[in-house]
Amino acid sequence: MSEILLNYINGAWQRAEAPHQSVRNPATAAVLAEVPLTPAEIVAQAVESAHAAFLEWRHVPATERVQYLFRFKFLLEEALDDLARTITDECGKTYAESVGELRRGIENVETACGIPILMQGYNNEDIARGIDEHLIRQPLGVVAAITPFNFPAMIPLWFLPYAIATGNTFILKPSERVPITSAKLFALIDRLNLPKGVLQLVNGSKATVDALLDHPLVRAVSFVGSTPVAKYIYSRAAANGKRAQCQGGAKNPVVIMPDADMEMTTRIVADSAFGCAGQRCLASSVAITVGAARHTFTESIAEAALTRVVGYGLDEGVQMGAVISAESKARIETLIAKGASEGAQILVDGRGKTVRGYEAGYWVYPTVLSDVPPESQIAQTEIFGPVLSLMYARDLDEAIRLVNARSYGNMACIFTSSGAAARQFRVQANAGNIGINVGVAAPMAFYPFSGWNESFFGDLHGQGKHAVEFYTQTKVVVERWYSGWSRQF
C-alpha cells in the first residue's frame, strides 16, 4: 500500500476527501504515493486560514520573521541526503543533480534572510518646507505558488522564503507528479513552530489551481511551468485583479564559434543538453555552430551523447536519469520522428532503448539531430527531453539571427575566446539569461530569473530584489508636522 499524501493547512496535516492520483518513480514505474486532487472547498479553508494568519504575521518584525528561515536552512542542510534521494526517486534525475538543485534552493532561503535590509524603503526630508516624504514596503496578504515537476525542491524555494520574510502568508501547490519532496519540505517546516497558517501546502491539479486563481483573498500568484499554462494563469490571475509572475517554457540556443575551446565546450553543452535528461528550462536545445566549428563540434557532441551513462539516478556512475513519465517519453520520441520527417538527420538516436534491471522505466537516451532546418517545427518546439538539434551559420551575425528567430527567450549562450564576439552576443541576443562559455546560465538567488518573451509573463521575476518588489506594495507617505521650531540648529 503506497503512502497517501496529506495537505498541510492551518498548521496541521489533513487528509483530503478527494480523488487521489498515483505518483510514480520514473526509473521503475513503481507507485510511490497517492496525491490528493484537492477541491475548491478545501483550498478556500487554506486561503482563509492563511488570511487570518497574515493579520498577525505582517506585524511580526522582519528580524523575527527571518529567524524561522535561519532554522529552516539548518533543517534543510541536515535533511539534504534524504531530500536528494526523494527528488531522484520521484523526478528521475541523478543524485548529484538532486543535491545541486537543493543547494540552489537553500541559496534562496539564505538570501531571504537579508529581508530586514532588502525590504527597506527610502525617504526625503524637506521635499517642501517642513514636509517629508517616505516610501515604505508592505506585504500583500495571501500569496500562492504553482510549481512544475522538474525541480521539486528548488522552484518552491524560489518563492516561499521571500514571500514569508516580507510578511505575507504563502500557499504552495506543487506539481502533482512530484509532491513527495514538498511533503518532506513541509515536514521540516512543521518543526519550525511558525504561527499556524503562515505556510500551507495544498496538493492537486487544474481545479486546485483555478480555486487559488479565483479566490478573492489570494493577492499574488507565482507560476513556473509550460508556456500555455503560464499564459492561462497570467490572464486568469490578472482578470481577477491579482499580481502574477509566470515563468514559461523554453527553446534555448547556444552558439559555438570556431575559436571556442572545443573540448570544454563539448563537455559543457553535453551537460546542458542532456543533464536532468534535458528536462530543464535552461537546457541547451539548439546548437548553432559558426563556420569551421561545425565539423569538430558535430563529431565531439555525437561522441559525448553516445557515451553518456543512462540509468537509475541513485546508482553509482549514472550521468543521466529517466524522463518523467511514459507520456513524456512518447511525446519526445514522436518529436524526434517529426524532426526527421522535416529533413533533420538523426545522428544519435536515443529512442527505443532501455536500462538493464529497470526495463519498466521511462528511458530516452541522448539524441543528436543534425542539419535541422531553421524553419522546421522541431527547431521551434520545446522538446523537454535529451535532444540536441544542430544548425549552422556562416558568421556570428547569421548565428544571432537564428538565435533571435524563436518565440521563447529564457536563455542564449555563446562559446568563444573572443571578447568582441561575446560582447556582440550579449548586446544583441534576444533572451533574458545569457551565458558566455557557460551552458546553464542560471542566475544566483540574488539575481532575478530573467526570462523574456514567451518564456515569461509579468514584469517582476522570481528571486533577488525582484522577489522583494513582487511580494510587497509600496506606500508613499507625505507628512507635515506643525511646530514652532526656531531655526538656530
Write out the residues near ligand NAD by the rule CB under 6 A. Answer: 146-150, 173, 175-176, 205-206, 209, 224-226, 229, 232, 247-250, 281, 382, 384, 410, 449, 451, 455
CA angle, 210 as apex, 58 and 179 as ends, to 5°?
80
Look up residue 266 and give its amino acid: T
HSE value, Cβ hemisphere, 13 Å, CA-based, for 296: 15
SS3 163: helix
Distance CA 373, CA 389 (A): 10
Shortest gap between Cβ of 281 and ligand NAD (angstroms)?
3
Question: Smaller CB distance to ligand NAD: residue 86 or 150?
Answer: 150
Question: Smaller CB distance to ligand NAD: residue 58 or 236?
Answer: 236
SS3 391: strand
Specify the pairing of strand 345-348 against strand 367-370: antiparallel
Question: Smaller CB distance to ligand NAD: residue 150 or 265?
Answer: 150
Number of helices (H), then strands (E), in the chain: 15, 23
Catalytic residue (choose from 113, 246, 281, 413) = 281
Shortest gap between Cβ of 485 and ligand NAD (angstroms)?
54
Distance CA 139, CA 131 (A): 26
CA angle, 409 as apex, 404 and 412 as ends, to 5°?
70
Question: Smaller CB distance to ligand NAD: residue 5 or 257?
Answer: 5
Shortest gap between Cβ of 394 and ligand NAD (angstroms)?
30
Contact status, residue 473 vs residue 137, Cβ threshold 8 Å: yes
Angstrom distances, CA of residue 99 to CA of 87, 95, 472: 9, 6, 31
413 is catalytic: no
Question: Smaller CB distance to ligand NAD: residue 87 or 250?
Answer: 250
Shortest gap between Cβ of 380 and ligand NAD (angstroms)?
14
With cell 542542510, the residue in question is 77
Provide the edge-to-edge strand list for the sheet that holds 367-370: 345-348, 367-370, 387-393, 284-290, 252-256, 411-415, 433-436
Shortest gap between Cβ of 161 and ligand NAD (angstroms)?
17
Question: Smaller CB distance to ligand NAD: residue 318 or 431?
Answer: 431
Shortest gap between Cβ of 412 and ligand NAD (angstroms)?
14
User: Cβ contacts of residue 113 below 8 Å, gap of 6+?
Assistant: 66, 69, 70, 73, 161, 165
Looking at the annotation, which residues are catalytic? 281
